[in-house]
Amino acid sequence: MDGITTGALIELGAVAAGAGIAGGILAGLLGVGGGIVIVPALYFALTLTGMDPTLTMKVAVGTSLATIVFTSLASGMGHHRRGAIDTALLRLWAPSILAGVVIGSLLGGYVSGEVMIAVFATVALAVSLDMILRKGRSDPQPKGFSRPVWAVFGVLTGTISALMGIGGGTIGVPLLNFLGYDIRRAVGTSAAIGFLIGVPGTIIYALSGLGAAGLPPFSLGYVNLLAAAVIVPLSTGFSQVGVRLAHSIPRRTLRLSFGAFLMLTSARMFLDLFGG
């Protein structure tokens, strides 16, 4: 990218640092991989550098997925130590989630930035309303479905998550909670799902962006290595703070905090989309 100033790069690094801290805490607290904070933060910072608006969302999403690989791994390990990951469900869901990630990542490399913003904002708003307005459930026996039904859930979760640059928590947490899973178990399992989303998603976004004109310095395709290098150590470290909070605060507070963050994020993205 020509013409980017040193000041703009410093500003990008500063925003990335803040996103790493907030994203790490949210990753551990809510099982979201941190992308729900990292994507809009990077989108905003990249826009300030004067970057082509058609590329900003793609770079934000690709970079977010790269950070989720490490953040979700750290968060997932923390939840696993507390027995909050449903490994049987994880094994059942993994193949279809991976298929969805491939679909979503390929779409993300070719659809317009405006479409990606619209998808991000719409899904975030829908999930936030669901989490805030609906009472939480924790049935003694969570609902069971046949493998084909779980496969559909997995493909949709993987596709939307890869297209939005987020871990599986934004879709997985409310879905599993609705199906009767305890909110903390839903958070822990979704944190592990983030790793399955991040690895293939990062590879595909990096490859699909190779040779694209107008990318910021230190980019590998649609993955900005500078921002990722700043975010990863902070997000992985602070994810353990979120894990401790997730197992100490009331379940209702956990759902409300999840919904509130998603609603604020959605509002900001809609404002950008419509030029507000």
pLDDT tens series, the chain, 276 aa = 555 677 777 888 888 898 888 888 877 776 666 787 788 888 888 887 778 877 888 999 999 999 989 888 887 888 888 888 888 888 989 999 999 999 999 988 788 878 888 888 898 888 788 778 866 555 556 666 778 888 998 999 899 889 888 887 778 877 887 787 877 788 888 888 989 999 999 999 999 999 888 888 899 999 999 999 999 999 888 878 887 887 787 767 877 877 887 788 788 778 877 865
- Residue 224 host element (H or E): strand 223-224
Please give the pLDDT value at position 33. 63
24-40: string of b/e by CB count within 10 Å (b at 16+)? bbbbbbbbbbbbbbbbb
* pTM for the whole structure: 0.83
Going from N- to C-terminal start, the domains of the chain cover 6-273
Residues 6+ apart with CB under 8 A from 242: 24, 25, 26, 27, 28, 29, 30, 75
d(CA 124, CA 265): 7
d(CA 260, CA 150): 28
